[in-house]
Amino acid sequence: MAIEDDVLVIGGGIAGSMAALVAADRGARVRLVTHKESTLRNASGLVDVLGYTPEGEGPLAEPFDALEDLPEEHPYERVGIDAVREALSVFDEVTGDAYAGGHTDTNALVPTHGGTVKPTARYPASTAAGLASDDRDALLVGFETLPDFDAPLAAQHLEAAGVPFEARGATVAFPGIRRDDAKVTRYAHLLDHDETVETGAGETGAREALAATVEHLLEDESRVGFPAILGDENAAEVRADLAERLGVDVFEVPMGPPSLPGLRLEDLLYDALEDRGVRVTSGVPVVDYETGGEGAGSSASVNDGDRIDHVIVDRNGTEIPHRADQYVLATGGLVGKGVRSERERVFEPIFDCYVPHADDRYDWFVDDAFGEQPYARFGLAPDRELRPLDANDEPEFDNLRAAGAVLGGYDFAAEKSGAGVSLATGYVAGRQAAEEVEQA
């Protein structure tokens, strides 16, 4: 017997979470299924809307002004500026005081672990004291056992980028950790629970030991930046405690994967899903589907605008049907394997939706590694209801919508627009799905 819901969301990242939240808020019975752990744990936790134009102009101070001039195939143009604003409002409600930036349409400039500065619309409160627009001098502190953050090099890169403050970097031993393969969650756990650690002066709490290690490094700086490992469950408390002990503002510098800010954001989103009654099933890939036609399967023609009757998930080798009135596809792009490529074609692997691309695979890329790569824009081409279109510009399925990186027509890495597109398209896909349920 098939498991039945009003809306079934496939994919557990920002786009899928947003679609599920919005559909549930509108009264739909929603289930979210995801194959693997959310890609949020590999993300910086920053929420960008648009940092650079498709032509490479930027960094942009006013991203919403630039949205008006995007090409027709861009996902933002498909959903409209109002949807971007509404999606950010939902995000602000869900994240509360854990995120900053909601008071303005202007991008903030957030330093990252490589010493680059990223234009972003919403950023964790833990990074707020480190904004590059702040003219107070900063000390960056790295750890010997955490080579992913080279504090002296990051400081040099910031000064080379022309930030309006002096930046210094120093590398120290992290109290209580001697192995360079310790997970970032281990650092966070030590500080969360203020565990006792051994120092040259004897045993003391991890927070006191860290403050004592850094205190003598301070000169005239009024803020100190650490890699983003300052607690998880009690991150705000850890940061405030260190700031009080050091007598300066403390901020986190977003890191690469695995990312604690990404994990914290995942927790916020999934707590909101639970609060709204969304049923989440993880570790179950969608392996097939059937349309409404009797006996139709994944090989059936859908040019007549068929409806998906149900999908089939693989749970430990057992195929289980999941039926819904509406479906949202939010499985990611080439990186997340929501879009796949073979030598002869590029395709979407669950429903085999059409992905526009050149017939000659040598036209999928350019020789310049830093050039404008066509494959970066590969993805589904949707209509304005975010239904994927076939090669004849007709909806593949009447009751399927797509959101996030599975969509094409934009280069999220170059534009710094990934999270923003996921929020906006997830919002519209969830809203449209719920409206269709209401009208059924």
pLDDT at 295: 37
**CB contact burial 141-157 (16+ within 10 A = b; e otherwise):** bbbeebeebbbebbbeb
pLDDT at 202: 82
Distance CA 222, CA 248 (A): 5
Confidence of residue 135 (pLDDT cuts 50, 70, 90): very high
Q: Quick one: 193 exposed, middle or buried, by C-beta within 10 A (0-12, 13-18, 19+)?
A: middle
CA atoms within 13 A on the CB side of 288: 13
Domains, in order of start, for the chain: 3-98+262-439 (3.50.50.60), 113-253 (3.40.50.1860)
Provide the token pair at 150: 């080279």
Confidence of residue 301 (pLDDT cuts 50, 70, 90): very low
Q: 25-29, 83-87, 149-153, 177-181 — which is least confidently predicted?
A: 177-181
Residue 394 CB contacts under 8 Å (≥ 6 apart), including other chains: 303, 305
Specify the 3-state DSSP secondary structure of 189. Answer: helix
Provide the token pair at 372: 């404008």
pLDDT at 3: 73
Work out the end-to-end distance of the chain between its first and last CA atoms, rounded to an integer number of angstroms: 22
Q: 155-169, 223-237, 371-385, 416-430 — which is least confidently predicted?
A: 371-385
pLDDT at 201: 74
Global confidence as pTM: 0.92
Asked if residue 53 has pLDDT above 60, the reply is: yes
Asked if residue 419 has pLDDT above 90, the reply is: yes
Confidence of residue 257 (pLDDT cuts 50, 70, 90): confident
Confidence of residue 122 (pLDDT cuts 50, 70, 90): very high
What percent of the chain shows pLDDT beyond 90? 77
Q: Which is more confident, 373 or 399?
A: 399
pLDDT at 296: 38
- Pairing assessment for the beta strands 279-282 and 167-172 based on DSSP bridges: unpaired
Residue 369 CB contacts under 8 Å (≥ 6 apart), including other chains: none
